[in-house]
Structure 1
Amino acid sequence: MTVLASALDTAGPGYAANRAAMLDKLAAIEAEHAKAVAGGGERYTARHRARGKLTARERVELLLDPDTPFLELSPLAAWGSEYPVGASLVTGVGVVEGVECVVTANDPTVRGGASNPWTLKKALRANEIAFANRLPVVSLVESGGADLPGQKEVFIPGGGLFRDLTRLSAAGIPTVAVVFGNSTAGGAYVPGMSDHVVMVKERAKVFLGGPPLVKMATGEESDDESLGGAAMHARVSGLADHFAVDEPDALRQARRVVARLNWRKAHPAPGPFADPLYDPEELLGVVPGDLKVPFDPREVLARVVDGSDFDEFKPLYGPSLVTGWARLHGYPVGVLANARGVLFSAESQKAAQFIQLANQRDIPLLFLHHTTGYMVGRDYEQGGIVKHGAMMINAVANSRVPHLSVLMGASYGAGHYGMCGRAFDPRFLFAWPSAKSAVMGPQQLAGVLSIVARASAAAKGRPYDEEADAGLRAMVEQQIEAESLPAFLSGRLYDDGVIDPRDTRTVLGMCLSAVHTAPVEGTRGGFGVFRM
């Protein structure tokens, strides 16, 4: 039998403690999400509504098919920075007229929708997802352009947005811009470089330079409407393909544009599938509050994969890494999941072979992280841990099938790389509130610095200040702990969002559907599978 049997004791004190700790972390993350949803706050939202305008999220909701989910991306962008949480932009994957699309929406209640450095990073990540997965892009535009005080961090890299729009179009991936308000200066090129453009009557303003700039540059007197209004662009310049009488009409027309794209996925939707045999609610109690305590990732798989059915690969070899085959919402997946934290030589070789097999069979890979990294020590170094770890990282780096990553617990050191961390371009990467990621654990990093400082003092023949050492260690531990938490990492877009563990199956199902819009093809390379 390949159906996973659960040994999770949901009535035990350990489970209750784990669940309580996870719920506390979830509440903290949800409080930060609420800040992004609030946008510029009650005052600016009320002023925006008084102008007869919809909020960014209301626009997204009206654009999407009724009763379909929206996979929001990077909602915590800019967390911990001087800019508001959410970075004045909503991005995500949703369904428009039956077509999966990447949707972006400026939030004009936050500094008029102006772009700060984190807005740019978030928009570029959305475009990256669209390009990799061949998803049409719908941009809901209302932005005053760059946030001028921060222009030094926006202007130069901001050209990537224009580059992306042209490359998406050249690759045959449709781009649609719906202009609700300002789209000025460099922002004028968003509709200018999109395949399809909808503008709202007496609201949209698209021009390279507004009336004050035109006056200063040429001496010409002008007004917003004649210079860049929707009616002018629909009747005179031809920039507007569709003229909308109001915002709901603009969104209706955008939906009709998508409906006429004749867009088809590269792979058909899978057939019927079975739900897991175990309650996803139980995922709240799987990960211990102390990440030094290992947990069995099969308990997660039993609550995520179809029918809790999992064919394990090499179960007796390299047991600290669980590998095997499953289906998720009908899509085949190869799974690599850390079981005991540390990656040894056997686990590394097993992973490399398994990744090759997935590429031969064109099967996407799912990485479930809980690793402290590759094993250190004289015996392990002499046994080849560097070359075996490099073998695994090489396989991950050169694998061409889509990768999905979920950080459930620890994700430290080169183990983060070997398990397809952000630098290795997974199609999507999400974290649980329990996750932590850094070069190493806080205590280990502080201890290393202490040992180095102690050795330096001894080499110079100086006494070592134990009191200062204790203070340094405490300070470093506190800093590294803070910098390894999900909100900090998500704020820097090192993941695509922090998700509720109970939503893992749904989120991964949406991701798998998205990646199958593009062809799923593995690396061949002219070699057979090397046995490791």
Structure 2
Amino acid sequence: MLALIERVRVYEGRTQSKSAASRERFEKREQLLPRERLSLLLDPGAPFLELSTLAGLGLDIPDLSASVPDLSASVPGGGVIAGIGFVSGIRCMVCASDSGIDAGALQPMGLEKQLRIQEIALENKLPYVQLVESAGANLMQYRVEAFVHAGNVFRNLARLSAAGLPVVTVTHGSSTAGGAYQTGLSDYIILVRGRSRAFLAGPPLLKAATGEIATEEELGGAVMHASVSGLGDYLAEDDRDGLRIAREIIAQIDWNRSLPKEPPRPHKLPRYDAEELLGIMPADHKRPVDMRQVIARIADDSEFLEFGADYGSATVCGHFKIEGYSVGVITNNGPIDTAGSSKATHFIQACCQSRTPILYLNNITGFMVGRSHEEAGIIKHGSKMIQAVTSATVPQITIYCGASYGAGNYAMCGRGFHPRFCFSWPNAKTAVMGGEQAAQTMRIVSEAGMRRKGQVDEARLDAMSARIVDLFDSQMSVFTTSAHLLDDGVIDPRDTRAVLANVLAVCREAEVRNPQAMQFSVARP
């Protein structure tokens, strides 16, 4: 586990180092690096939950001839730094262009990352603060489907504003073509004198399209937009000044005025050391593990009230608290059977009745199979559980702790079922089934076909099995699933309690907050 955590940190560090390598260029322009901007925007010492740090890992330098992506030079993150943090005491979703890398050019998985964080902001009623400096799309890698899909980013900015969630933007540098609407679709716009550029067509495209010649400053500079076009609401002298203004805007809108003043939630730490989470999950997912051992290391005082312990016992349900927040948990000590799925369905509905958030700790190899289980109605009972997960009216949070295979992934609120938040431990595996099972299944089918033709080629079957195992093994690790945004990030198991406390607080605030929704988003003057 420690080796896997270190591997995650190496990839994250590679991204931070490449961005920081642009320091000399930024200093010549009297600008701050993207992470320096972020650190000045956020409240010092307050928690910041960074999201999707491995987005695009291995996908930024695709080799179509390779079955396994080359990660040796990949720089993940999608060109975007994003997460949930505090600005002037207000919990916000923050998104910053990582303009130290390729001038902040938008990467395909960076687009998906922005769409996901906008979804989180909408669902959890979070103000949206963006620090923009992007060269836009790379025209040498133009794809029409990406262009069309990118419209969702701008649609979501309008939806955030209409939902009563303030969109605050500091445009530190370029905001060009369609990207200009990333600035324009904001409720509060801060431009930096001599650095901000916002135009639908830059000088090269303008000359190519109309023959008109204009400088960048004349066409879309900060002073022009603040005094002539009306695009800019505030004119900052430099990056620091722009971030100061952004913090003051958030402070002045009195966002927390409707939140009730809750007293501190008294709680006790777990009785067992979080360091032990590093050794609980076996490297071999075939080996059994008691997930109560995980619960004991994240629950307040390690207290766990199990629900229906003697019925469908491989499916573990119950209640515990994390930093005083009540949560219902569903996890797995074996495949889901008919009794387990019925119990989980009951438990999900009971949590909805009491408005208790549900945590899914995935360690599931799938549903039980076989003649007796089919006769017992595993399909209909499993379907009831999936219906309950789909229709649940409370926040659902998923953590992939081990395996998450087959329909078990669906029943345990996998990413396709839109959990409010979804994280992975570094050892997690996600697939329709294990590689060996897939290979054996296809071998049986192929061998039967060969027998019908009167000739069985063992060498060919062996080669096919090896290819299938490699195919499945190459796609099931978090270094592939997180790269494709199939979670919201890979977390150190020792940080699980802190991450859960953070997102449970986000969900709790969203539940009691009532933003002033409107029919339309705020329009520019």
Tell me if both proteins adopt one fold, taking TM over 0.5 as the criterion: yes
| Per-residue deviation, 1:266 | 5.4
| Per-residue deviation, 1:146 | 1.2
Partners of 1:222 and 1:163 in 2: how far apart? Answer: 30
| Per-residue deviation, 1:517 | 2.3
Q: Which residue of 2 aligns with 1:14?
A: none
Q: Secondary structure at the match of 1:191?
A: helix
Work out whether residues 397 and 424 of structure 1, in 8 Å CA contact, stay in contact via their aligned partners in 2.
Answer: yes
1:384-443 Cα shifts (integer Å, max 9, x gaps): 000011010010001021110000000000000000000000011000011001000111
Work out whether residues 116 and 150 of structure 1, in 8 Å CA contact, stay in contact via their aligned partners in 2.
Answer: no
Partners of 1:451 and 1:193 in 2: how far apart? Answer: 57
Describe the shift of the 1:496–1:247 C-alpha distance in structure 2 as closer, same or farther (beyond 3 A).
same
Q: Which residue of 2 aligns with 1:31?
A: 10
Partners of 2:23 and 2:343 in 1: how far apart? Answer: 54
Partners of 1:508 and 1:163 in 2: how far apart? Answer: 30
1:264-290 Cα shifts (integer Å, max 9, x gaps): 275655522221111111111110111
What amino acid is the match of 2:413? Answer: C
Partners of 1:298 and 1:243 in 2: how far apart? Answer: 55
Q: How does 1:107-118 map to 2 (within 5 A)?
A: 107-118=98-109
What amino acid is the match of 1:435? Answer: A
Aligned counterpart for 1:519 among listed residues 487, 511, 522: 511
More displaced stretch, 260-269 vs 440-449: 260-269
Q: Which residue of 2 aligns with 1:505?
A: 497
| Per-residue deviation, 1:45 | 4.2
| Per-residue deviation, 1:305 | 1.4
Answer yes or no: is 1:379 the counterpart of 2:372: yes
Work out whether residues 146 and 154 of structure 1, in 8 Å CA contact, stay in contact via their aligned partners in 2.
Answer: no
Partners of 1:295 and 1:434 in 2: how far apart? Answer: 14
Q: Which residue of 1 aligns with 2:53?
A: 75
What's the RMSD between the two structures over aligned residues?
1.5
Q: Secondary structure at the match of 1:24?
A: helix
Q: Which residue of 2 aligns with 1:46?
A: 24
Partners of 1:423 and 1:150 in 2: how far apart? Answer: 28
Q: How does 1:189-268 map to 2 (within 5 A)?
A: 189-264=181-256
Partners of 1:31 and 1:87 in 2: how far apart? Answer: 16
Q: Which residue of 1 aligns with 2:133?
A: 142
Work out whether residues 371 and 416 of structure 1, in 8 Å CA contact, stay in contact via their aligned partners in 2.
Answer: yes
Answer yes or no: is 1:453 the counterpart of 2:446: yes
Work out whether residues 20 and 33 of structure 2, in 8 Å CA contact, stay in contact via their aligned partners in 1.
Answer: no
Q: Which residue of 1 aligns with 2:454?
A: 462
Q: Secondary structure at the match of 1:69?
A: coil
Aligned counterpart for 2:95 among listed residues 84, 100, 104: 104
Describe the shift of the 1:520–1:477 C-alpha distance in structure 2 as closer, same or farther (beyond 3 A).
farther
| Per-residue deviation, 1:492 | 0.1
Aligned counterpart for 1:131 among listed residues 119, 122, 131: 122
Q: Which residue of 2 aligns with 1:474?
A: 466
Partners of 1:63 and 1:138 in 2: how far apart? Answer: 9
What amino acid is the match of 1:456? Answer: G
Q: Secondary structure at the match of 1:102?
A: strand
Work out whether residues 266 and 516 of structure 1, in 8 Å CA contact, stay in contact via their aligned partners in 2.
Answer: no
| Per-residue deviation, 1:462 | 2.7
Work out whether residues 330 and 361 of structure 2, in 8 Å CA contact, stay in contact via their aligned partners in 1.
Answer: yes
Q: Secondary structure at the match of 2:509?
A: coil
What amino acid is the match of 2:55? Answer: A
Aligned counterpart for 1:161 among listed residues 137, 149, 153: 153
Q: Which residue of 2 aligns with 1:443?
A: 436
| Per-residue deviation, 1:520 | 7.0
Partners of 1:31 and 1:479 in 2: how far apart? Answer: 25
Partners of 1:422 and 1:149 in 2: how far apart? Answer: 32
Q: Which residue of 1 aligns with 2:66?
A: none
Runs of 4+ in 1 over 3 A off after TM superposition: 265-270
Q: Which residue of 2 aligns with 1:276?
A: 270
What amino acid is the match of 1:404? Answer: I
Partners of 2:284 and 2:401 in 1: how far apart? Answer: 12
Aligned counterpart for 2:476 among listed residues 484, 489, 510: 484
What amino acid is the match of 1:74? Answer: S
What amino acid is the match of 2:467? Answer: M
What amino acid is the match of 2:171? Answer: V
Partners of 1:386 and 1:266 in 2: how far apart? Answer: 44
Partners of 2:428 and 2:259 in 1: how far apart? Answer: 34
Answer yes or no: is 1:302 the counterpart of 2:280: no
Describe the shift of the 1:451–1:38 C-alpha distance in structure 2 as closer, same or farther (beyond 3 A).
same
Work out whether residues 115 and 154 of structure 1, in 8 Å CA contact, stay in contact via their aligned partners in 2.
Answer: no
1:485-521 Cα shifts (integer Å, max 9, x gaps): 0110000000011110000001111111111221279
Work out whether residues 51 and 83 of structure 2, in 8 Å CA contact, stay in contact via their aligned partners in 1.
Answer: yes
1:458-479 Cα shifts (integer Å, max 9, x gaps): 22x2311111211221221122
Work out whether residues 36 and 76 of structure 1, in 8 Å CA contact, stay in contact via their aligned partners in 2.
Answer: no
What amino acid is the match of 2:13? Answer: A
Q: Which residue of 2 aligns with 1:10?
A: none
Work out whether residues 177 and 199 of structure 2, in 8 Å CA contact, stay in contact via their aligned partners in 1.
Answer: yes
Partners of 2:32 and 2:290 in 1: how far apart? Answer: 47
Describe the shift of the 1:64–1:41 C-alpha distance in structure 2 as closer, same or farther (beyond 3 A).
closer
What amino acid is the match of 1:467? Answer: A
Q: Which residue of 2 aligns with 1:526?
A: none
The normalised TM-score by structure 2 is: 0.92
| Per-residue deviation, 1:339 | 1.6
List runs of 5+ in structure 1 lacking aligned partners. Answer: 1-21, 522-532
Work out whether residues 31 and 238 of structure 2, in 8 Å CA contact, stay in contact via their aligned partners in 1.
Answer: no
What is the aligned length? 497
| Per-residue deviation, 1:209 | 1.1
The normalised TM-score by structure 1 is: 0.91
List runs of 5+ in structure 2 lacking aligned partners. Answer: 62-74, 514-525
Work out whether residues 39 and 88 of structure 1, in 8 Å CA contact, stay in contact via their aligned partners in 2.
Answer: no
Describe the shift of the 1:41–1:55 C-alpha distance in structure 2 as closer, same or farther (beyond 3 A).
closer
What amino acid is the match of 2:91? Answer: E
What amino acid is the match of 1:275? Answer: L
Aligned counterpart for 1:356 among listed residues 349, 356, 368: 349
More displaced stretch, 418-427 vs 47-56: 47-56
Q: Which residue of 2 aligns with 1:292?
A: 286
Partners of 1:512 and 1:469 in 2: how far apart? Answer: 50
| Per-residue deviation, 1:301 | 0.9
1:33-84 Cα shifts (integer Å, max 9, x gaps): 2122224573x44323332222211111111000112111110011121353
